Structure 1
Amino acid sequence: MTWTINGSLDVVSATDRPDLLADPVVTALEALDPADAARIGVAAIDPTLADTAEFCAAYGSPLEASANCVVVSGKRAGEERFAACLILATTRADVNGAARRRLDVRKASFAPMDIAVELTGMEYGGITPVGLPDGWPLLIDQVVATAPELVIGSGIRGSKILIPGDILVKLAGAEVIEGLGR
């Protein structure tokens, strides 16, 4: 696939470089339709530049084509519920509005870093919607869902995934939510 948002990144097929992906991401890619998996790229990066703003500045990838995945949680009747929210890097997740309503909890908040890392099997700063735990809702902002190409985490800090929005909406648990990103 030809990318327009890669800046100076050397992008290769994600299926050709499982070493650049967290284990849950590799498993999720293997479960995708091969035609969709072939449309996903990965690029190695300096792990110290994994945070979105630093990454975009260093590699020339546009901030408006980067999407961040955040893990949110809340409790209902003693049960802790989790979801991942995928929003453009230029927006903030509506955690206590849209995400809270979807989780059906009184209050939602960002999950603590150690819990998010443990439950996803991914590195902090690299958490991605590809390969989330079974049963988790993946809440995707409408703008992300319709984007022709995006840069997202890979499950590790040492790489980034390039992916079209139409593939993200096919991931397990995916739900498109208007106004999730504000």
Structure 2
Amino acid sequence: LASFMVDQFGSSARGSGLFLLGWSDEWRRDLSIGGAGWTSIDTTLYVIELDVAIKLPSQRVTLTTENFSWMTLDRQGVIYNGTDGFNLYEEQSVEFLFHPLPGLAMDSVEHMLVDVDRGGGYGQALRVELYDWTRGDYDIFTYRDGSELELNAPRRYLGPGKAVRIRLRYGDGMGTARVRKIRIEHTGRYS
């Protein structure tokens, strides 16, 4: 059960699903192995997904980072696979795809925020690239001071299901570019 409670990425445990977990110290089957020197420890874990109805707001809202799932698309020299707490060394890059959780993609995204928290390590420039789904290529934004990237017309950077594709590159100079956390937010409306 502890594996369900480990939060490796510091999320706020928000989501769009509801699960009921339960366990028992009994097993409904009889099993005996004659002459074996063992003791049975019977434990059964039950995971039940409950139906939920999400009522989406009618006013303008912000969908914050904890309401997105992510996956790694490519890693060049980066061993750690998460979106937080990693370093990029010379000529290394990592590419992520962020998706709103099921049922939470907005009909109209009016504003998007991308924040690559460098954790105070702003001495080296880090290239933050957003995929332009219209052109089929990346646009480059350089982060040196750790400021947030705010886009008031993000349509071209939103893919299927309002996905955001981001690539981080460190290729200039020596040393390391630290990334403490990547944060994505959508502000807009549901129909």
Same fold, TM-score > 0.5, yes or no: no
TM-score by length of 1: 0.29
More helix by share: 1
More strand by share: 2
Larger Rg: 2
